Structure 1
């Protein structure tokens, strides 16, 4: 028999570093080609800033040179609706065209992002514990993406879909003797998002808002260690 032991996560990164890595990712994504290098830097920093309640250490082992075409494709797809309508007069028609094109690109966008998520998860190495395996498939992933897109029009429904989607990702993530869980709720995400939006509007608190976002998502994750019965209390 096995017993499950829950390991809590805490984010210890600073506010200015949170802003710096967010700006780095944003700028490199706009440039498109070097987007992967920004993501790798941010993921390495995040792993180094996470503390586990049992002393586990996380390291990011991914290299941008192996994945950059997918990151560049994702960045290009994000910019494509705006680029495609750049010659249209600004207004309702241009905005509607951007929305239609963005929705039409969702299946392709999901096909690009799923291997990025798999690569990201499988390159986070725990000590002890090793790297994880991600078994999520394209069809359910696309379903979650489509559901999230539809839920945006409900104003509040997106938060519940987002947290449910993250739980799906966690259920499909496992390592040797451990798994991942997500404890965040839709209501908590909604409440925090309202506060984050106020912080963004005030501009000055943005670094602390970004740190708060990283803290919320990190502490909502747990590592579940599967151990032989009795080992927990030995």
Structure 2
């Protein structure tokens, strides 16, 4: 069965195909359980994973144990690996358009933004964190999204001083959003003790540097990778470290290809999913001690 590709059902949607090795990783992390419906070529129809001979052979380790003050973890929770995301072509496009339209219309922004982040997080697969979720509510930082929506209009003023102030404001608001997202992640319904510890001055500094680097034509790609690594280093509350593995060249050519394809309009849904899946896969979890000794 090692060369087979598998599909599984999650939240009423078909996921896959995945090689069997990755399916077994989903089983180990609890994303796929014995009750999850799966299908592979040659099968007459969908079956529960636990009914497939050999799929659950050898067991998946001891049952989860509860850590004081933390979420449920299993004995295999100390592993690592890249993140992945399962998004449909049209569902991603639709959610992205709702997010943008919400900001443009300003008033719906808190609802569309919260819904977008909740949907995106639910599609993420994180090693050792089954059933990832987002617990943030519309009323938490609703004013942040309203102001961000208003900033899109103020940016057309044409005054350099106003645009500079807007950059500072947007950088600060973006920092608030990152902190909010990190503080509202959950696994199996349990809030994760994750927090973003990056300072507001550091974050706004990177935000400004990113904006300025655009004039270098290609330098922004290396600023992006450095900024993402700074963000990852400032994510705390877990025994594993988040790392960003993309290179400047990798970000550069993929972003340029994405922008070029979007210019033809029709490919947008497909290249949007391609780019999103690649970008997410560049984030990975590693043991802090192992990473330090690497």
TM-score normalised by L of structure 2: 0.66
Alignment partner, residue 219 of structure 2: 157
* Structure 1 portions without partners, runs of 5+: 85-96, 229-234
**Following the alignment from structure 1 to structure 2, what is the Cα–Cα distance between the partners of residues 121 and 134?**
6
CA 1:125–1:227: 2 relative to 1, 3 Å:
farther
Which of 274, 281, 287 does residue 212 from structure 1 map onto? 274
* Structure 2 portions without partners, runs of 5+: 1-77
Alignment partner, residue 28 of structure 1: 102
Query: Is 2:195 the counterpart of 1:133?
Result: yes
Q: Secondary structure at the match of 1:64?
A: coil
Which of 184, 189, 201 does residue 246 from structure 2 map onto? 184
Alignment partner, residue 210 of structure 2: 148
Which of 146, 155, 163 does residue 102 from structure 1 map onto? 163
Q: Secondary structure at the match of 2:198?
A: coil
Higher helix share: 1
Q: Secondary structure at the match of 1:65?
A: coil
- Equivalenced residues, count: 212
Alignment partner, residue 221 of structure 1: 283
Q: Give the structure with higher Rg (CA).
A: 2
What value does the CA root-mean-square deviation take over the aligned residues?
2.2
CA 1:108–1:160: 2 relative to 1, 3 Å:
same
Q: Secondary structure at the match of 1:140?
A: helix
Alignment partner, residue 255 of structure 2: 193
Shift of 1:179: 2.7
Shift of 1:33: 2.2
Which of 30, 41, 48 does residue 122 from structure 2 map onto? 48
CA contact (8 A) 2:129 2:187 kept: no
CA 1:117–1:165: 2 relative to 1, 3 Å:
same
Shift of 1:99: 5.5
Deviations along 1:119-150, whole A, 9 cap, x unmatched?
01211224588241111111111211121111
**Following the alignment from structure 2 to structure 1, what is the Cα–Cα distance between the partners of residues 226 and 184?**
23
CA contact (8 A) 1:37 1:64 kept: yes
Alignment partner, residue 8 of structure 1: 82
Q: Work out which structure has the larger RCO, using CA pairs closer than 8 Å and 6 or more positions apart in sequence.
A: 1
